[in-house]
A = this chain, B = another copy of it.
Amino acid sequence: MSGKEPIEQLSSIQSEIVMLSQTANVLHWDMETQLASGGVAQRAEQLAYISGLIHTKATHPRVGELIGLAEQQAGTLDAVQRQVLRVARRDYDQAVRLPQAHVEAVSRETGLANHVWAKARAENRFEDFRPHLEKLVELNRQAAEYLGYSDHPYDALLDGFEQGMTVAQLDQVFGEMRQGLVKLVASIAAVPQVRNDFLTRGYPADKQREFGEKVARDIGYDFSRGFLGISAHPFTIELSSDDVRITTRYDEHFLPTALFGIIHEAGHALYEQGFPSGIKNTVLASGTSLGVHESQSRFWENTVGRSRVFWQRYYKDLCQAFPAQLADVDLETFYRGINTVAPTLIRVEADEVTYGLHVIVRYEIENKLIAGTLAVKDLPEAWNARMQE
């Protein structure tokens, strides 16, 4: 039908899919940063509809044909085209296993659940969120069956975030990590604690934002291609390759939340803002995997942001922003304070050592929920029990 090569026809269809995915991301961004409660139901419908459109395009038989044809000509493709083809094959093989109604339902329920979660979190009412979480767990259990797996249903879902990763591998890696981390936490708890009372003094949100924006800008986050918003759960999202936004939440009585949160998200964003122009707004412009993405965010947050050398440069600026709050705190005290290791209930506010334990606990719980060996109603108890360990 067209004189174009299969890979070019494929790229053209993919660019429509990318456009729709970016549009869905705009809907998401707005939902989490600005949408009022009354608009949630129809927004969930909009998200479901756009997801359905994406799925229809992505699973069209012509896409499968084009991928097959392009694979036969793989030898003639350049390096970028070969990667586009690899991702196309993978996305297609996954997408065709999922019924459209399922894809739409996941999108709709995620939209509805998000708002309920934020409200339930603010009011500390797990029961309000429970039916939504049950629905999402059920949908994910179904997805695992649709996608298929050899050993664990969780493998099928894990693959979407970290290709090729399995429960078997994670159990081993996390098992070793857990042992080491628990020992480390215990030995730290056994010695005199550093002073960090000053982190919970009153820090006005607007001053926090100002300082956070300065640091984000300095480490390379490009505000002319992004925006720093506010949301209940901090995240980074790509509305296009030249519009990579980040959020944080400001706790006026806990400085580290936004301070390291912004550096963390800016780390994610640097990765996405840094794609070369040749792959902008293509399927390749979204990061290799969750693990690689977190390596960027946590590198900036911890390796850079909690280092002595970083604060040798920035502590005077922070003191300028909060002169009264930090009047009796010298650089070394501050540096040690922000590196306090102590168990906390909130992953995104956890220190460098216990953060890993949060990830492990979350993995263990998710794995059981998907396997069906833990019910959502028993989740708070299971989580609390693990958090005690």
Contact = CB atoms under 8 A, between A and B. Distances in A.
Contacts of A30: 26, 29-30, 239
A223 B37 CA distance: 9
Which residue, of A16, A49, A222, has the highest number of chain B Cβ atoms within 10 A? A49
Residue among A53, A241, A243 with max Cβ neighbours from chain B (10 Å): A243
A35 B39 CA distance: 21
A284 interface: no
A227 interface: yes
Given A27-B23, A27-B26, A227-B36, A240 B46 contact: yes
A41 interface: yes
A111 interface: no
Copies in the complex: 2
Contacts of A243: 35-36, 38-39, 42-43
Contacts of A50: 23
Contacts of A43: 239-240, 243
A239 B23 contact: no
Interface string A15-59: 010011011001101100011111101110110011001000000
B41 A242 contact: yes
A328 B240 CA distance: 52
Interface string A215-247: 000000011111100000000000111110000
A29 B223 CA distance: 19
A217 to B, nearest CB: 13
B281 A36 contact: no
Given A36-B224, A224-B36, A224-B37, A242 B23 contact: no
Tell which of A16, A22, A46 has the most Cβ of chain B within 10 Å.
A46
A39 B281 contact: no
A240 B19 contact: no
B38 A224 contact: yes
Given A36-B226, A39-B240, A45 B27 contact: no
A36 B229 CA distance: 13
Given A23-B23, A38-B222, 11 more contacts: A19-B46, A22-B46, A34-B227, A35-B243, A36-B224, A37-B224, A38-B226, A39-B225, A39-B240, A42-B242, A53-B53
22 contacts: A16-B49, A20-B49, A22-B46, A23-B46, A26-B26, A30-B239, A35-B243, A36-B225, A36-B226, A36-B227, A36-B243, A38-B224, A38-B225, A38-B242, A39-B240, A42-B240, A42-B241, A42-B242, A42-B243, A42-B281, A43-B239, A46-B240
Per CB-CB distance, the 8 closest pairs between chain A and chain B, nearest first, are A39-B243, A38-B225, A42-B240, A38-B242, A38-B224, A19-B49, A36-B224, A39-B242
